[in-house]
Amino acid sequence: MPAAVLNPSDYVVLGMVGLGARSGYEIKRTVELSIRFFWTISPAQVYPSLAKLERAGLLTGRNEPQGNRPRRVYERTEEGARALRDWLTRSAAMPFELRDIAMVKLFFADALDAADAHRLLAQVRSRSEERAATLQAIRPEAEEAARAGNYYPLLTLEMGIAYHEAIVNLSRHLPGFRIATPTGARSTGPTPQHIPNA
C-alpha cells in the first residue's frame, strides 16, 4: 500500500495522540488549549485525520463506548511515531504566516486623527492583554505536561505570552518615538510623546 500523503493537520493529530489525547473529543479539547493559538485546525478536520492515520497504520484504534455514546480511542504506532519524527526533522522551509487584521489597521493608522489612532492602538493593546491573560490561565496544564516530560508545550506557551506582552509594552509608548537619524541630520519623524493608557 502506498504511503499516505499527510498534511500539517494530520501531523497535529498524530502529535496530539502521542501527548495522550486518545479520542477525537480529547484531541479537540487539547487543540483548543494549545495549537489553536498559533495554528488553525478545525474540529471538523480531526475525525477525518484520525481515520486516515488509522488506515495508514500510523494509529491503532478500538471502540470504547461511554454508555450509549460511541467512542473510539487511539494509540500511536511505532510507524506513526517515526512518521512524526521524520516530519519534525525534515529539512524544509517553514514559512511564517500571520494574518492579523489589527496589525493591518494599525499599519494604516496615519490616515486617522491622533485621537482615533490612539483608540485603535488601545484596542490592539487590550486584545493582547486579554490574550496574555488567557495564556497565563492555561500555564498550569502546560507545567503539568512538563512535569510528565513534555517540555515544549510550555516553551511555546511562554513564547506566546512573550509575544503579546511585547505588544502591550510597545503600545504603551507608541506613538512616542522618533526615527533615529545621523548626527546633524534633521528628523522628519513624529514628535516624541508618551501616551499613558492610550
Q: What percent of the chain has pLDDT over 70?
A: 86
Mean pLDDT computed over 64-87: 94
pLDDT greater than 50 at residue 185: no
CA distance 119 to 122: 5
Query: How many C-alpha atoms does 96 have within 13 Å on its Cβ side?
Result: 1
Give the residue with greater pLDDT, 135 vs 194: 135
- Are residues 72 and 62 in contact, defined by beta-carbon separation less than 8 angstroms? yes
Do both 70 and 112 map to the same domain? no
Cell representation of residue 121: 492602538
- The predicted structure's pLDDT at residue 61: 96
Domain-embedded: residue 191: no
pLDDT greater than 50 at residue 188: no
Domain-embedded: residue 78: yes
- The predicted structure's pLDDT at residue 40: 86
Domain that holds residue 79: 8-89
Mean pLDDT computed over 146-150: 94
Domain-embedded: residue 184: no
Give the largest CA-CA distance in the chain: 79
Closest CA to 14 of 62, 82, 72: 82
The last residue of a domain, from among 31, 66, 89: 89
Closest CA to 45 of 16, 68, 81: 16
- The predicted structure's pLDDT at residue 189: 43
pTM confidence score: 0.77
Domain-embedded: residue 196: no
Q: How many domains does the chain have?
A: 2
Do both 113 and 82 map to the same domain? no
pLDDT greater than 50 at residue 112: yes
Give the residue with greater pLDDT, 39 vs 187: 39
